[in-house]
Chains A and B, each alone.
Chain A
Amino acid sequence: MKTYPANYPIVQVRGLKKLFPVGGGRKLHAIDGVDFDLQPGRTLALVGESGSGKSTVARCIVRLLEPTDGDVVVHGNSVRPLNPVRMATMYRTLQMVFQDPNASLNPRMTVRKVLEEPLKLHLSMTQDERNARLSELVTLVGLGEEHLARYPHELSGGQRQRIGIARAISINPEVVLLDEPTASLDVSVRGQILDLLKRIQRELNLAYLFISHDLQVVRHVADEVAVMYLGQIVERGPTAEIFDNPRHPYTRALMSAAPVARYGVKRERLRLAGEISTPVDPPPACRLSGRCPIEQPVCSQQRMPLEPINETHSVACPFSDRVAEAVAPPVPAAKAG
């Protein structure tokens, strides 16, 4: 385990853009200028609804998709352009865990084969060393050596996701991108997998990019939260601040819609008008314009950049101080007047 100075960014994402051509010269702006850092031992959560571009961000970082513009810097080195040798080096640092362990594990490979493959590809180990590493890995994710001989279909959903995690950490990466790692799991299994991820992060000092639409989970695991809407980050800050004092109207709408499994909690919902607008050739305006309850004339005339409101909290809305007075706060207990 390497140690780094405080706030050392292992990965810096700068001005990342991904546009998909949709015919007729039009472009779908899946990601439209996203910046963030990933630091060892810390979790940044990307939250947002379907189509907000959060999975595309992860896919652009590990180059399953080629970004249209912008840069990903790993340990000070840009990964663009990327030749096969540098790609291999990058994968030593960056690994990914996917949402659906049924789809991301090869059904015809035993757990041993699945976990052995990255070791063979990336590390020069003897067979004995590999065997030792395999038993270490399965133990680390809370399974036993007897699971090594099994095929994915012989495992439960939670066990499969443990194997997905074991595969990602097998070659000692420093950064793990987790794309909805608990979305396909039952709630009781969800808690176990989250505990496992937190323990591994502590033991290996991993940086996590945690992509999720489940706000309850995000609050539980994240140090910092970035809220995405239509390809842009509209608000970013420490987890407690984003949840307790959301400043962007979209963040507030999202938070106020999330149900809580407690009796007697009544939500004051902030409703956005209409449906999500199209990401195809969006006009140079705030992405929320046309839906926003505190919209001003200027909102439809220019893009709203992410501006800091204090040292750690940034909001892409110049009228964020009016959010609280325009609508009731999301937590009913804190409801004023």
Chain B
Amino acid sequence: MSDAILEIENFSGGFMSPAGEYNQVLHDVGYCLPRGAMTAVVGETGSGKSITALAVLGLQAPTFRHRTGSIRFDGTEMLNLDARGLRDIRGSRISMVFQDARAALNPVFSIGRQLADTWMLHNGGSRAAAMDKAVDALRQVHIPEPERRARQYPHEFSGGMAQRAMIAMAALICTPELLILDEPTTGLDVTTQADIMELIVDLAQSRGLTVCLITHDLGVVAETCDHVVVMNKGCVVETGTTEQIFTAPQDAYTRKLLAASLLTEYSA
């Protein structure tokens, strides 16, 4: 696949215990993210979906050791990059949204300030201009009264509003080619969840973003994504288009996961 923005091949790794024992958790993980498409990585707790994505940005836990494989972003081998090389890619070319936005934002700075700082870090310019950019980004993610909201702190935002602010930062203040969303709607109410997903789809389409959506919620995936990667116990068990995965799943685990999501009986 030449038109993949990110290619992960035979990626294996694990954690070192304090006693120095190595426990392998990822086994030859491989998938690619086609440029301009939305790809979902689905799986249950412990399937390795988040660790793999964090490893792309060099954000894995300090006890994580990678053993084999490669992660190529637009032709660049990410695993060989030093801190400086990673910094040049993080935010400006690949950015990430985490599950709990209120925990991801800094509690002691106003929302506007955090967005403006991020803008200045990547683009320079005056604080006033950066602040205008921040307010504009908040407006584009449909936060009402963006001027007033920009002066507020994360604790004054609801979970859904904070996630909108995070998306503004990750997708609009940073202008990445690849946006990785790690469980962006988990813990939000269904109506808020549906609004956030609509926002993500809108932004992805209008800006030609490549999106990687990490989630355990197959309902969200069915409606929004083009491709699906199913992971279980540190392995990729099946990949395909959303239609293939949902209408003709080949792997037994995929079928089990689908049945469990719909609460229907599973028949092999």
Contacts and interface: CB of A to CB of B under 8 A. Distances in A.
Interface of A: 49-50, 157, 186-188, 190-191, 194, 213, 215-217, 220, 253-254, 257-267, 269, 272, 274-275
Interface in B198-251: 216-223, 242-243, 245-247
B241 to A, nearest CB: 9
B189 interface: yes
A49 B263 contact: no
B152 interface: no
A49 to B, nearest CB: 4
Given A50-B189, A254-B190, A258-B190, A187 B260 contact: yes
B260 A49 contact: no
B261 A261 contact: yes
A191 B260 contact: yes
Contacts of B44: 186-188
11 contacts: A157-B45, A186-B216, A216-B219, A216-B262, A257-B193, A259-B219, A259-B220, A263-B242, A263-B246, A265-B223, A267-B194
A213 B257 contact: no
A257 B247 CA distance: 22
Given A187-B44, A187-B216, A261 B258 contact: yes
B260 A263 contact: no
A188 B260 contact: yes
Given A260-B222, A265-B223, A213 B190 contact: yes
Interface in B37-69: 44-45
A170 B190 CA distance: 34
Secondary structure dominating the interface of B: helix
Contacts, number: 84
B80 interface: no
B259 to A, nearest CB: 8
Nearest to A220: B263
A272 B219 CA distance: 21
Contacts of A213: 189-190
B106 interface: no
B261 A266 contact: no
Contacts of B260: 187-188, 190-191
B246 A261 contact: yes
Contacts of A260: 219, 222, 262
B191 A261 contact: no
Contact of A188 (B190, B217, B257): B257
A151 B220 CA distance: 36
B256 interface: yes
B262 A262 contact: yes
Given A257-B191, A257-B193, A263 B219 contact: no
A215 B219 CA distance: 12
A233 to B, nearest CB: 18
* A49, A188, A190, A217 — most chain B CB neighbours (10 Å): A188
B76 interface: no
A239 B158 CA distance: 30
Contacts of A274: 144
Contacts of A49: 189-192
A59 B217 CA distance: 29
Nearest to B259: A191
B220 A217 contact: no
A269 B218 contact: no
Contact of B217 (A217, A220, A259, A272): A259
B219 A258 contact: yes
Nearest to B241: A263
B193 A263 contact: no
Nearest to A250: B191
Contacts of A220: 263
Contacts of B222: 259-263, 265
A252 B191 CA distance: 11
Contact of A215 (B190, B216, B256, B262): B190
B219 A194 contact: no
A93 to B, nearest CB: 30
B251 to A, nearest CB: 14
A257 B190 contact: yes
Contacts of B223: 259, 265-267
Contact of A216 (B158, B258, B263): B263
A35 to B, nearest CB: 25
Nearest to A217: B263
A188 B219 contact: no
A264 B241 CA distance: 12
A263 B258 contact: no
Contacts of B193: 257, 259
Nearest to A260: B219
A187 B216 CA distance: 8
A215 B261 CA distance: 12
A103 B193 CA distance: 26
B246 A188 contact: no
Contacts of A157: 45
Nearest to B158: A275
A71 to B, nearest CB: 30
Contacts of B216: 186-187
Contact of B191 (A186, A264, A272): A272
Contacts of B263: 190-191, 194, 216-217, 220
